[in-house]
Structure 1
Amino acid sequence: MIMYDNDPPHGNELSSNLQSKHVVMIALGGVIGAGFFVGSSTAIAQAGPIVLLAYAVAGILVFFVNVMMKDLALYFPGKQSFLGHIELTLGGRAAFLAAWSYWLIWVTVVAIEAIAMANILSVFIDFPKTPIELTFIFIITVMNCLSVENYGFLEYVLSFIKIAAILLFLIICMGYVCNDFSIVKKNLLVSQGIAPNGWISMVCAIPTIVFSMGGSEIATIAAVESGEDRKSISNSIKSVALRIGGLYLTSIVFIIICIPWTSIKSGHSPFLEVLKQIGIPYAQILMACVIFIAALSALNSGVYVTSRVLHNLAVSGNSLKYFEKTSDKNKIPLRALIFSSLTSSIILLSSFFSYSEIFSVLMRATGIFTIFNYFLIALAARKIKNNNYYAYFSIFLLCSILFFMSLVEDMRGDILIGLIAYSIILFMLFIKERVVTANNIRRS
């Protein structure tokens, strides 16, 4: 069996000092980033009020995926990430595709969050965005070179601030709606009913939403560096899904009913527009601070997870052994960390051409990667339990999403980007297997 997460060579093990509360907050940190506070504008502008149904469907899917990850965590002995579970159930080739595509997801997320942070600062500071973006990635990379305990504590604090800000936003919106309930009908039906762009626009918004909700899988990766038992970790995974669904859906509901959806522009925070409408003093500055912290937290989680996935790829023989090495003192995979951050830096340089277009395109294209990994998680869960209705429903839903996406010209481009990326990964797998075969022949 190929090693994955369980048995790295002696001296290259990861730390095991994270607590379950850190695991939960790390996962929430990866989920609640700029994709939540800013990226939600893309889905709303695309679908209109019917986007609420899209968020509900995506929320159910993410919940089912987390339930399946919980089942996998309880089924297999030891502490494994969901990537390790895919290898144990579907084989090394499926794990190769899943791990490399997941790494691509998060190096892209790191770039997106850096772009979001630079865009926020550019409102207050007249300075080129690209140097700011690169500086943020450099700072977070340096911070991740410290002990994993310090990283876990920092992420815990940042995630707590984000959740507190969302809860405060919901309380403010609730008071605004209770003061004038007539705005609900007026804003919901501001233009051509609840589905002004057709029902298919709702389906096509789901990949963007699924991607913005993605990140709860980090809990299984961080769990490898946790001292908690499997049952505690599995319960943490499920609780993350419930919190994500509640925060996302209630926030979008209040956004849709508090302001006309036609006033929401892709790439601009709908949360800020709501606070302006309500008349909150210094709304722009307050929201900018919240989005900045959210992006910083997600960037921090992204840098963490890319380094761990690349390290595990090396341990399993699916990447260069060079990335297997961890630091002697803190057990940090420094080589994998630096390489992943450099890759994210290259990706974000594309923001030099167009911020709003790059932000939207990267989110939509990376949504394909997320859908693919969810599909593999569902297949893995079905394999350990034949009558797994969560798995069957998830597979049906994922296939339906891809089918409806193929009917829309713009979305077909996203699918094509995903297919090209997977073709490259498959080519890497082909080269790797040929090299392994050649080495085995020489040894014999």
Structure 2
Amino acid sequence: MEENKLKRGLSNRHIQLIALGGTIGVGLFYGSAATIKLAGPAILLSYLFGGAVIYFIMRALGEMAVANPVSGSFSEYANKYVGPFAGYLTGWTYWFNWIVVGMAEITVVGVYINHWFPEVPQWVSALAALVIMTLINLVNVKAYGEFEFWFALIKVVAIVGMIIAGLGIILFGLGNGGVPVGFGNLWEHGGFAPNGVSGLLLSLVMVMFSFGGIEMIGLTAGEAENPQRTIPSAINNVIWRVLIFYIGALGIIMILYPWDEIGTSGSPFVLIFDKIGMPAAADIINFVVLTAALSAFNSGMYGTGRMLFSLADQGNGGNGPAFFRELSKSGVPVRGVLFSAAILLVAVFLNYIVPEKVFYYITSIATVAAVTSWTVIILTHMKFRESGGSVSGLFPMPFYPYSSYFALAALTAVVVAMAFIEGMAVAFIVAPIWFAVLFTSYKMKESH
């Protein structure tokens, strides 16, 4: 039935900025200090390597999305080319991933609001963010796209501003008495890779986590106005974004400051704006990071609603309750959005009773969920190729199948490295339980 189809309301500029927003998160503004501590200046190599891995994963997804632009994206493709359980596992794990990330982000929103209004209880800010973002996602897909466009643009302007300011300090000595800063900080404090290969490998986990959400481009294919043109363009630009926004920004920070001093006094980005004499640096960065958190939450609401709709729409009887297959007149999976919002409401109450450390543990589980999705994308693409799905050859993955083997090996290395990072080992307990629950529920669904 035509009326039960999602509406194509996302333009090229929406898709481009959604893709960009997916690669730039809170991780860059505040989390970058933690990754620098693990690898020192060599973190630049880690981002370069991680960017290459993500690029191949996105090219695999892009080839399938251009050939078959549907909203369920990789869950739908896994269901079709690997099997119903693969679609079930991927869809529900991706939904769970965004619920977890959403709970973390909604808590973080309260923290950033407290920077200006310390008297406002954290749970009030969290509840307000949940209500506003839910309402935006209930209007239509264009409303989501428009908010994501502006959220992403704020992040981009902030990073470009920081890069320009940093170059001014490095080349012309702005804020440094007119004395240009040398490049010595990149190797003078224990070398370029002070923690050796092990530091590089451990940092790769955090680097890959910071790329979580990039696969959102695939989900937008079902609602893009011209997916054959916009999806390839957005994916091909990923590698340049990584080079400019991550490597460029972090490179400048580590040229200006010794790597072992970064993060000891707030966000690395605040330091740069402070150095050129911008008194409102902390407020500016707080505003930018607040929009980054709201952007991630906005994407989470969008992604969970679409994935629940897709699961209900898959195969014979669906991989999810038929209840979620209902769309509003404007083509929004309202029930999926509202159900996800209701689950996220739990996060508002968790602000009272759960220590913040638990959120750190839960977020580490999101890394496993992201790696699971990426692994399924690569494996599904290999099956897609074997089945002759890419006969059109509209957007073929480069260097196939070697690029697929490279991506799978890198993702395996990330999972192994996680076992050696304090606080992340909890994911190895929760993930098997989650997969066991999914397997059991799938078998019960099958037997009915």
Structures share fold, TM-score greater than 0.5: yes
TM range (shorter): 0.7 to 0.9
Contact 1:34 1:113 in 2 (8 A): no
The 3-state SS of whatever aligns with 1:412 is: coil
- Structure 1 counterpart of 2:427: 414
Residues 355-370 of structure 1: matches in 2 within 5 Å? 357-358=357-358, 360-370=360-370
- Structure 2 counterpart of 1:336: 336
Distance in 2 between residues matched to 1:187 and 1:399, nearest whole Å: 30
- Identity percentage over the alignment? 28
2:395 counterpart of 1:395: no
Q: Cα distance 1:145–1:408, how it changes in 2: closer, same or farther (>3 A)?
A: closer
User: What per-residue deviation string (whole Å, max 9, x for no partner) do you get for residues 36-74 of structure 1?
Assistant: 322323322343333222222211111111111122234
User: What per-residue deviation string (whole Å, max 9, x for no partner) do you get for residues 386-444 of structure 1?
Assistant: 74221111011111222333355654333333223222222222222222xxxxxxxxx
2:66 counterpart of 1:61: no
Residues 242-391 of structure 1: matches in 2 within 5 Å? 242-265=240-263, 268-316=266-314, 317-327=318-328, 329-347=329-347, 349-352=349-352, 357-358=357-358, 360-385=360-385, 387-391=400-404
User: What per-residue deviation string (whole Å, max 9, x for no partner) do you get for residues 306-359 of structure 1?
Assistant: 1111111122211111111111x2121111101112222324644546776345
1:38 pairs, out of 3, 27, 30, with: 30
- Structure 2 counterpart of 1:5: none
Contact 2:72 2:311 in 1 (8 A): no
1:76 offset after TM fit, Å? 4.2
Distance in 2 between residues matched to 1:167 and 1:364, nearest whole Å: 29
- Structure 1 counterpart of 2:394: none
1:240 offset after TM fit, Å? 3.7
Unaligned runs of 5+ in 2: 174-178, 387-399
Residues 130-169 of structure 1: matches in 2 within 5 Å? 130-169=123-162
Q: Please give the root-mean-square deviation of Cα atoms over the aligned residues, in Å.
A: 2.6
Contact 2:55 2:235 in 1 (8 A): no
1:99 offset after TM fit, Å? 1.0
1:171 offset after TM fit, Å? 0.6
Q: Cα distance 1:368–1:71, how it changes in 2: closer, same or farther (>3 A)?
A: same
TM-score, normalised with respect to structure 2: 0.86
Range moving further from structure 2, 259-268 or 371-380: 259-268
User: What per-residue deviation string (whole Å, max 9, x for no partner) do you get for residues 142-172 of structure 1?
Assistant: 1211122222222222222221221111111
Distance in 2 between residues matched to 1:418 and 1:42, nearest whole Å: 24
The 3-state SS of whatever aligns with 2:426 is: helix
Distance in 1 between residues matched to 2:265 and 2:349, nearest whole Å: 18
Contact 1:155 1:300 in 2 (8 A): yes
Range moving further from structure 2, 404-413 or 383-392: 404-413
User: What per-residue deviation string (whole Å, max 9, x for no partner) do you get for residues 259-307 of structure 1?
Assistant: 2333344995322233334432211111111112222222212211111
> Counterpart amino acid of 1:430?
K
Range moving further from structure 2, 342-351 or 295-304: 342-351
2:112 counterpart of 1:111: no
Distance in 2 between residues matched to 1:357 and 1:17, nearest whole Å: 40
The 3-state SS of whatever aligns with 1:331 is: coil
Contact 1:107 1:306 in 2 (8 A): yes
Distance in 2 between residues matched to 1:267 and 1:111, nearest whole Å: 26
> Counterpart amino acid of 1:86?
A
1:253 offset after TM fit, Å? 1.5
- Structure 2 counterpart of 1:440: none
2:178 counterpart of 1:185: no
Range moving further from structure 2, 180-189 or 240-249: 180-189
Distance in 1 between residues matched to 2:341 and 2:187, nearest whole Å: 42
Contact 1:315 1:324 in 2 (8 A): yes
Runs of 4 or more, structure 1, over 6 Å off, are 77-80
Q: Cα distance 1:73–1:267, how it changes in 2: closer, same or farther (>3 A)?
A: farther
Q: Cα distance 1:68–1:348, how it changes in 2: closer, same or farther (>3 A)?
A: farther
The 3-state SS of whatever aligns with 2:152 is: helix
Q: Cα distance 1:231–1:282, how it changes in 2: closer, same or farther (>3 A)?
A: closer
1:78 offset after TM fit, Å? 6.9
1:366 offset after TM fit, Å? 0.9
- Structure 1 counterpart of 2:204: 206
